């Protein structure tokens, strides 16, 4: 049933006219990956390469994401990947509040259809959907149970492409994913709670400066 629901959502995203982003898009990007998976990755928005191909994370940031997934003990074909906005913002600017709102129903329906145990957010806009008052510099690489799902906020992979000093931070954070996944399987709570950071976690670094993430 989830396959049919996901196909319906994708078909609606591709013809969506709810916000101004549809005027400049070449291809909407509903997301890709299996409908039956425990793992969902949510980025911020399509970039140039994604707009060309209609698929998420297929440019340089996507290649780095593949490397990060491997570091976390996962493969791309085992996770579902999407964004908080499904069409490319012009010049890769930040998504506007009305654009996030326009796409929110699609994302909520995707989450409901897949019903993932673990959601990894990539960048501050996707993090804000679940942790609206958090600073990514303070919570990256940590995890929290929210509405029965383990939410793990991470920096966007493109941050390391623009500022190489963030590459080790991302690699280190993703290396903790297997520990978080193990905890998720063993300790899924009835409600929401913060759970202990895996051992040997390095102190948080300063937040990278705001820049285009695509």
Burial readout 69-96 (b: 16 or more C-beta within 10 A, e: otherwise): bebbebebeebbbbbbbbbbbeebebbe
pLDDT tens string, the chain, 214 residues long: the values are: 789 999 999 999 999 999 999 999 999 999 999 999 999 999 999 999 999 999 999 999 999 999 999 999 999 999 999 999 999 999 989 999 999 999 999 999 999 999 999 999 999 999 999 999 999 999 999 999 999 999 999 999 999 999 999 999 999 999 999 999 998 998 876 544 444 334 333 334 444 443 333 3
Residue 207 lies in a domain: no
Q: Scanning the structure block, which residue is given the tokens 């976690």?
A: 201
Residue 69 lies in a domain: yes
Residue 174 lies in a domain: yes
- The rounded distance, in Å, linking the Cα atoms of 58 and 86 is 14
pLDDT in tens, 114-163: 999 999 999 999 999 999 999 999 999 999 999 999 999 999 999 999 99
Residue 204 lies in a domain: no
Residue 37 lies in a domain: yes
Phi and psi, residue 36, nearest 5°: -105, 90
H or E segment to which residue 145 belongs:
strand 144-146
Residue 149: both structure tokens together: 């799902």
Number of domains the chain contains:
1
Residue 208 lies in a domain: no
Residue 142 lies in a domain: yes
Domain that holds residue 167: 2-186
Contacts 24+ apart (CB under 8 A), 104-108: 104/129, 106/9, 106/12, 106/13, 106/16, 106/30, 107/42, 107/82
Residue 158 lies in a domain: yes
CATH at residue 9: 3.40.470.10
């Amino acid at each position: 049933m989830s396959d049919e629901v996901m196909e319906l959502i994708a078909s609606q995203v591709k013809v969506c006219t709810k916000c101004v982003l549809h005027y400049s898009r070449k291809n909407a990007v509903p997301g890709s990956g299996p409908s039956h998976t425990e793992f969902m990755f949510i980025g911020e928005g399509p970039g140039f390469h994604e707009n060309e191909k209609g698929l998420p994370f297929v440019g340089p940031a996507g290649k780095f994401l593949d490397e990060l997934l491997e570091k976390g003990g996962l493969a791309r074909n085992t996770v579902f990947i999407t964004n908080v906005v499904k069409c490319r913002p012009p010049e890769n600017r930040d998504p506007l509040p009305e654009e996030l709102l326009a796409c929110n129903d699609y994302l909520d329906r995707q989450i409901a259809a897949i019903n993932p145990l673990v959601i990894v957010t990539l960048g501050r806009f996707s993090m804000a959907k679940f942790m609206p008052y958090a600073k990514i510099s303070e919570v990256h690489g940590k995890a929290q149970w929210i509405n029965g799902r383990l939410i793990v906020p991470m920096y966007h992979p493109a941050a390391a492409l623009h500022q190489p000093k963030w590459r080790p931070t991302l690699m280190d954070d993703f290396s903790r994913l297997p520990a978080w996944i193990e905890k998720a399987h063993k300790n899924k709570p009835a409600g929401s709670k913060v759970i202990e950071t895996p051992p040997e976690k390095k102190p948080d670094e300063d937040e990278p400066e705001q820049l285009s993430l695509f």
